[in-house]
Amino acid sequence: MGVATADAVVIGAGVIGSAVAHALAVSGRSVIVVERNGAPGQGSTSASSAIIRFNYSTFAGVATAWEAHHDWLNWADVLEAPDADRTAGRGTLATFVRTGSLCLDCPTHDPGKVLALFDQVGVPYEIWDAATIRARVPAIDPARYYPPKPVDSEAFWADPEGELGGYHTPDAGFVDDPGLAAQNLAAAARRRGASFRFHTTLTAITTSGGRVSGVDVVCGGVAEHLSAPVVVNVAGPASGRVNALAGVGEDFAVSTRPMRAEVNTVPAPSGYNGPEPGPLVADLDLGTYFRGTLGGELLVGGAEPACDPLHWLDDPDVYEPGPTAELYTAQLYRAARRLPDLTVPNRPVGIGAVYDVADDWIPIYDRTALPGFYVAIGTSGNQFKNAPLAGRYLAAIVDSCESGRDHDTTPVRFALPHSGHEVDLSAFSRRRSLHAGSSFTVMG
Ligand SMILES: Cc1cc2nc3c(=O)[nH]c(=O)nc-3n(C[C@H](O)[C@H](O)[C@H](O)COP(=O)(O)OP(=O)(O)OC[C@H]3O[C@@H](n4cnc5c(N)ncnc54)[C@H](O)[C@@H]3O)c2cc1C
């Protein structure tokens, strides 16, 4: 068996694994990334709606999303991109598209709490009543339907009860190509000396003297040992399996579980897009979300309404990758109630993909009980936007723990350069009490 040595091994080259690799390399470590696919960003990342919004249920969530949004605005600088990349035009660096975001009122999503967090963090917003919604986005019918109902029930077609408003955050938007964002981070990590092993699958995590000592991998039938004092699990929906290989999980108060989700694509209705894509809309009143695309389409996803079953998976690699009649109908019919001019084509178009869901839909960025073994997992369908910062959070936790700090008892605090706030990273601890104020949906 061949042997290679590094200061750190990262399992997974999704957008967060690539960000972790970049941040660890920037901190001066030699890094090897192990990825079973042939390129970065081909797991959950490539399926991401890549929505950049700021509404979360915790201070740490809002502060992280607001800070990370500045990274997307300054993407070339975050990557330390060469001049050729900066001037190459669309398709070389992922691009943030500012559209604004409208979060519609819903009794289970207390706007008062979110807006108080926006005030605390400094996120600009406006309150829109139904008349303002109609004036600003004529395609939207601001009727109130709460609670969400199964689309095959008669109740779904009942008349609305009054109207609703919402809050608008003008700085929200989306990243045009999430897979490209992962490739950009991987290229940045490589410029800092990291190496990526593609078509390479993790088979074992090795220990010595009570701490991690590296990983065993296989590539094209050839086994290799990668010796490293630090190993980071960023395996996305396969995170539970990787934790099992490391023998950790006993002291996790928060567990993760793979869940299939679907995003459907339809032509955007008239009155939704202007010259630029319309605002992204979080519609917990009906149980859906949607956003525009640069090509004049609408991406429609689900927001886990309590009336619908969740699609938990026993095996994160065994799922339907195309659209299903069940979710296509549910998501599109809900969107069509909100956007009366939306036409729902007979032939479903979309993708099925997998979320790595934490019990309270808040990620786990943490050390573990096995010294040297770290996790960036449980990203719950809502952490693409935070990837660049998640990488730096992990590097800070690794640096502190490897210097002797016990992050469990003396949590690392991370200073956010743009907002000036500080985030106590125990908010993302594996041992936290489940956050009762979470939406327990993709909204986090
Ligand atoms: C349909 C969908 C829509 C989403 N929409 C949004 C959104 O609008 N906004 C937002 O912020 N977030 C969104 N997300 C969430 C976001 O995309 C994820 O949080 C993020 O992409 C996770 O990145 P990752 O690097 O942790 O995981 P992944 O991208 O899944 O990468 C994990 C990698 O690990 C590799 N791997 C696993 N096991 C092994 C092994 N044994 N050996 C080697 N390699 C291994 C996999 O091949 C994979 O490439 C969405 C997710 C989905 C699925």
Give the confidence band of 276 by pLDDT, cuts at 50, 70, 90: confident
pLDDT at 173: 98
Atom number in ligand 1 closest to CA 386: 11
- The confidence score (pLDDT) of residue 49 equals 97
Average pLDDT over residues 350-369: 98
**In the chain, pLDDT over 90 holds for what percent of residues?**
95
Residue 13 pLDDT grade (very low, low, confident, very high; cuts 50, 70, 90): very high
Rounded average pLDDT over 182-202: 98
* pLDDT band with cut points at 50, 70 and 90 for residue 327: very high
Question: Nearest 5 degrees, angle CA 109-CA 152-CA 264?
Answer: 65
pLDDT-derived band at 108 (thresholds 50, 70, 90) equals confident
Predicted confidence at residue 58, as pLDDT, reads 96
Q: Is 46 touching ligand 1 by the criterion CB < 6 Å?
A: no
Band of the pLDDT at 275, cuts 50, 70, 90? confident
- pLDDT bracket for residue 182 (50, 70, 90): very high
pLDDT tens, position by position, 157-168: 999 999 999 999
Across residues 134-139, what is the average pLDDT?
A: 95
Q: What is the pLDDT of residue 410?
A: 98
Q: Give the model's pLDDT for residue 274.
A: 83
Q: What is the pLDDT of residue 273?
A: 87
Share of the chain above pLDDT 70, in %: 100
**In this model, does residue 143 exceed pLDDT 90?**
yes
Please, what are the domains in the chain? Answer: 2-87+177-255+360-428 (3.50.50.60), 99-173+258-358 (3.30.9.10)
202 lines ligand 1 (CB under 6 A): yes
Report whether residue 183 contacts ligand 1, using a CB cutoff of 6 Å. no
C-beta 384 within 6 A of ligand 1: yes
State the distance from the centre of ligand 1 to the C-alpha of 343, rounded, in angstroms: 30
Rounded to the nearest angstrom, the distance between the alpha carbon of 157 and the centre of ligand 1 is 35
CA dihedral sign, ordered 193, 196, 197, 203 = positive
Which conformational region is residue 238 in: left (phi greater than 0), alpha (psi within -120 to 50 degrees), or beta? Answer: alpha
Return the best residue to mutate from 16, 34, 44, 49 for the ligand 1 pocket (most ligand atoms within 8 A of CB): 44
pLDDT per residue over 50-65, tens digit each? 999 999 999 999 999 9
Would the pLDDT of 396 be above 90? yes
Q: What is the pLDDT of residues 83-95, one digit of tens each?
A: 999 999 889 999 9
State residue 1's pLDDT score. 78
pLDDT at 3 over 90: no
- In short, whether 378's Cβ falls inside 6 Å of ligand 1 is no
Which residue has the CA at smallest separation from atom 37 of ligand 1? Answer: 235
Mean model confidence pLDDT for the chain: 96
Note the pLDDT of residue 342.
96
Mean pLDDT of the region 206-217: 98
Determine the atom of ligand 1 nearest the C-alpha atom of 262.
1
- What is the band of 2 on the pLDDT scale with cuts at 50, 70, 90? confident
